[in-house]
Amino acid sequence: MPELPEVETTMRGLTPALKNRKLVKVIKRRDKIRIPVPEDFVKRLEGRKIIRLERRAKYLRFFLDSEDVIICHLGMSGKFIISDKNEDPFAKHDHIIFETDDEKQIIYNDPRRFGLMTLCTVDELDDHKLFKDMAAEPLGNEFSGVYLREKIKAKKVTIKAALLDQKVVVGLGNIYVCEALNKAHISPLRKACDISADETEILVPIIRDILLNAIEAGGSSLKDFAGANGDLGYFQHQFVTYGREGENCINHGCVGIITRINQGGRSTFYCPVCQK
């Protein structure tokens, strides 16, 4: 599933094609992706201008001049494709198509249909069920060592599970949590409540640096992900632990071997020697 860097990369790729562009035509080829697409989706969008785009956690949000907001989640295999307007037939899994006033097509394609596309108004956004319980953004000023320690100090789950909890910090996924815990020398098996304040002060900037580096690299392309311009991400070439089972740990002075275990149905990669 695309994680925060991949969604941020998608948002940045879409912004030049959609910001300040009028939607002259909207084509809804499916009534339901993961959830039903609103019945009045086309009516509310056609003729409106997109004034800005943003990412919140792993969601894309497109703000219209009508005070409506398009909300999109990429799910497992969703992606946007930017192309010139043409008369070629759409592909089987092209579900939503936006045609802009500069004759571009922005196509939402999702073979596995675990993504979503819905609408709300600006006034409804903060209390929307998708966002109302979300915690701080890991790249925002609110996210700090003190903040993280406060969020996890009473949690009996593992630190790995806590960092994946959207009520602790949003947008972190399996890949980047594995990478961050390795660089912070923290075992994913430790209980969150046992992580000290000193350790959260170390962990938070590591998380931020990893995410920023991943965004700079265009995210990680493992299976389905490609940016809106079709480019693949390259951060997978910088992985220090994820997907490296059986390989040497590359942390300075460490002689450990990367191990894979299962936690909550997800693969966790870590070094049992230097991650304590």
Name the residues annotated as catalytic: 2-3, 58, 266
One-letter amino acid of 210: I
In the 8-state DSSP scheme, what is residue 97?
E
Which residues have CB under 8 Å from 40's CB, separation 6+?
none
Q: How many helices (H) and strands (E) in the chain?
A: 7, 10
Closest CA to 237 of 221, 259, 260: 221
- Which token pair is 172? 């972190």
Alpha helix ranges (H) inside 84-193: 122-125, 145-152, 159-164, 174-183
Place of tokens 């990412």: 55
Return phi, psi of residue 143, to 5°. -80, 115
